[in-house]
Chain A
């Protein structure tokens, strides 16, 4: 991680003086990075974004951009672009006028404005829509205009507040790819707020997971997925099986799972966890059908009673239980013959498939 470009330090926002909507956020963002603020609604991610934009004043803490404190600067004195879920396009202006608005306010020469507007509309592939009004465009097109308006003045940072939230699923996926491409081409620092974990996984360089106004973890998507720092992160992102247990102090590499018994985990992970009580995360796709002869590969075994089977075509999700514990298993490909509703099967996982989280 290079030097921090955008630096949030001890950021707190309280609306009523008693409870904190944002409760002490520390976050460093590198220049050109795409960071997603991910969390359930009301977790403080949008409020954090609004403080960076200057629409909300922090109760405590500081926001620095390139070494300069932004605290004293009004929103219109910051060089920060914002894209809203509601698009917030000016309905009385054409697409070109909307996009030119930031340049007009910054008193760019007229000729420069026109060429820059054309350039940025080409970037979002709306070159032929310059003279349309926002109401004549589809939701996806309107959001591209909003994106163009946020980018046209070469902002230091572009903030996006659930920009795809109002679009339907296929359009959303298309726009994710599009946003990623634009980020690569423009290289602007982007902060992206969403509650959709798929969006966060597919687009971000790093994900900052919010919960109750605080940060649970800031890490690259795969690290957040495979090595969540807290149980909340593991449950919020992706499908999960969680077991509570204790580290067996006598036998290194063994964990006693409540109600299931001793299971083998990676030694390095076992050593790393200092405490004795742990949460163990096993992703459903790490659990496999176990048979004779693969004890070495899958030393951890339980018998699973199959409840519901959900076929996705490219994979099968098996929902069942083992000794009263809910258990989810995801198998790539077609549904194996052994998996039938009501059947009991032996499933297993390797030591490296379990992720340990210390519980305090």
Chain B
């Protein structure tokens, strides 16, 4: 009983500051104020009717999709190689792949800033996609190698003895069985880019400003209550994403 109470208090402590933005997004106050003096949908209208917020939203979506594509293109072959083959320097490779996870984002951001400046990619979508794609590599790698390690290779043998060549085996058996894990890996990559602020602040510039960057600038300059709207939408999106990933894993483990 006590355990349940403590757990609820902790959960509340963790979640409440996030959920508080939900009522604030419907607030009539011209600045942040809690509790709200009244409720309306005015700030939602403002979010959805001007390019001021919609453009960074679109930028964020485009960049997150591009980064996810890049991450998966790097991670899927790397995971197969890493899990299925033995080679010299394997643990070093693992360390290298995990590096973006341990290097402070602000350090990465500075490095990308200098690097992308030489390629003239600062302030472009491509530049942010490259940076975000690399940052998401360790997350997707962790998920996908775990899925691959749990994969029974006898499935592939069974397919081959059934008369399926290497390609047919991959597309009929390996890929469908690994799909849920791959989707979770892709989702992590997408969210990691969609939520990323520090690197975006450094390199996105005007041209490729993402939602988190726009929010940061907005709160610094004007405390626009639309931020509460954006936050609410973000929290909802992420919650849906996590829910989808949990459901996908449930299906994968055969809970259905």
Task: Report which A residues bind B (CB closer than 8 A).
Answer: 53-55, 74-76, 78, 80-82, 84, 86, 88-92, 101-102, 105-106, 135, 146, 149-150, 153
Contact = CB atoms under 8 A, between A and B. Distances in A.
A75 B160 contact: yes
Interface stretch (B72-80, B165-173, B203-211): B165-173
16 contacts: A54-B160, A74-B160, A76-B164, A76-B169, A78-B161, A86-B152, A86-B154, A88-B152, A88-B154, A88-B157, A88-B158, A90-B155, A90-B176, A91-B254, A102-B163, A153-B162
B39 to A, nearest CB: 48
Contacts of A149: 158, 162
B61 interface: no
B90 to A, nearest CB: 18
Given A92-B176, A92-B177, A135-B254, A101 B159 contact: yes
Given A101-B162, A105-B162, A153-B162, A75 B173 contact: no
A89 B152 CA distance: 10
Nearest to B160: A75
Contacts of A101: 159, 162, 164, 172
Given A76-B163, A86-B154, 8 more contacts: A53-B161, A76-B161, A101-B172, A102-B163, A105-B162, A135-B254, A150-B161, A153-B163
Contacts of B164: 76, 101, 105
A92 B179 CA distance: 10
A75 B169 CA distance: 12
Contact of A90 (B168, B173, B254, B256): B173
Nearest to B256: A135
Nearest to B173: A90
A78 B173 CA distance: 19
A102 B155 contact: no
Contacts of B162: 76, 101-102, 105, 149, 153
Q: Which of B155, B158, B256 has the largest number of chain A CB atoms within 10 A?
A: B158
Q: How large is the interface on B (under 10, 10 to 19, 20 to 34, 35 or more residues)?
A: 20 to 34
Nearest to A135: B254
A154 to B, nearest CB: 12
Tell me which of B162, B169, B173 has the highest count of chain A C-beta atoms within 10 A of its own C-beta.
Answer: B162
Contacts of B176: 90, 92
Contact of B157 (A84, A135, A153): A84
A146 B173 CA distance: 15
A141 to B, nearest CB: 15
A82 B163 contact: no
Contacts of A84: 154, 157-158
A55 B162 CA distance: 13
A88 B174 CA distance: 12
A272 B145 CA distance: 61
A76 B165 contact: yes
A80 B176 CA distance: 24
A154 B28 CA distance: 75
Given A86-B154, A88-B155, A80 B177 contact: no
Interface string B135-152: 000000000000000001
B172 to A, nearest CB: 7
Contacts of A80: 161
Contacts of A88: 152, 154-155, 157-158
Contacts of B159: 90, 101, 105
A82 B177 contact: no
A101 B164 CA distance: 9
A91 B177 contact: yes
A155 to B, nearest CB: 8
Contacts of A82: 157-158, 161
Nearest to B176: A92
A2 B244 CA distance: 61
Interface string B100-140: 00000000000000000000000000000000000000000
A106 B162 CA distance: 8
Interface in B174-191: 176-177
Interface in B214-256: 254, 256
Contacts of B256: 135
Q: Which 7 A-B pairs have the closest CB atoms?
A: A102-B162, A105-B163, A88-B154, A135-B254, A88-B158, A75-B160, A82-B161
A346 to B, nearest CB: 55
Contacts of B160: 54-55, 74-76
B18 to A, nearest CB: 36
Contacts of B152: 86, 88
A75 B159 CA distance: 10
A117 to B, nearest CB: 13
- Max chain B C-beta neighbours (<10 A), residue from A55, A76, A78: A76
B178 to A, nearest CB: 10
Nearest to A99: B162
Nearest to A101: B162
Given A88-B152, A91-B254, A81 B172 contact: no
